[in-house]
Amino acid sequence: MSETRTYQWCGFFSDLIGADQLEAAQLIKAGGAVIATEEQIILRQKNPRKIALIRESATDGIIGTAALKVPEAAYRADLFSKAGVPIAGFEDAPEIGYVVVAKGWRGKMLSGSLVHAIANNVTEAAFELRYQVHKSLNTTWVQTHPPP
């Protein structure tokens, strides 16, 4: 049985051709990373500092995505408040978000490599929103990343 190969790309969303921008937006929407139309996601993606993709080598299809984005101050403050985490030191921090792996590729530890690819581009403190859903337990917390 042959092993399916993947490769990673990291850059700016605007560096992608239109078809790839749409494919990434469709994956983000399907994965539930944000509730929006593909068009709204494409507009939001133009704001991230960086985006990381994982592609399947044979088809060049996008199977994973993550972004370093700059959330609005009110959104950021609300996330920290809901998670019960002090925001001190992260008032202007970018967020690692839109972390999605296509259904058939989950369980292969690809999301971790996407987060690492984005984190390698961070030069200041950053944060990511994490969810845990298990039976009746549904919790949200903020994972902080101090500056390198």
Query: What confidence tens digit (pLDDT) does each residue in 62-95 have?
Result: 999 998 888 888 988 888 887 787 888 888 888 8
- Kindly report the length of the chain: 148
> Helix (H, G, I), strand (E, B), or coil: what is residue 86?
coil
What pLDDT is recorded for position 148? Answer: 52
| Backbone phi and psi for residue 131, each to the nearest 5 degrees, phi listed first | -120, 145
**What's the average model confidence in pLDDT over 36-56?**
87
Q: Where are the domains of the chain?
A: 6-145
What pLDDT is recorded for position 126? Answer: 65
> Would you tell me how many other CB atoms lie within 10 Å of the CB of residue 57?
10
pLDDT tens-digit map of 16-30: 999 999 999 999 999
β-strand partners of 96 = 68, 128
Confidence of residue 32 (pLDDT cuts 50, 70, 90): confident
**What's the average model confidence in pLDDT over 8-13?**
92
Q: What is the dihedral of CA 93, 94, 95, 98, to 10 degrees?
A: 170
Rounded CA-CA distance 142/131 in Å is: 9
More confident residue, 126 or 36: 36
* Amino acid at site 99: V
**What's the average model confidence in pLDDT over 29-58?**
87
What pLDDT is recorded for position 115? Answer: 86
pLDDT tens-digit map of 89-140: 888 888 888 899 999 999 888 988 998 888 887 766 666 655 443 333 444 4
What pLDDT is recorded for position 124? Answer: 65
Strand 126-134 versus strand 50-56 pairing type: unpaired
pTM for this structure? 0.77
Rounded CA-CA distance 53/66 in Å is: 7
| Fold observed for domain 6-145 | Aminopeptidase (3.40.630)
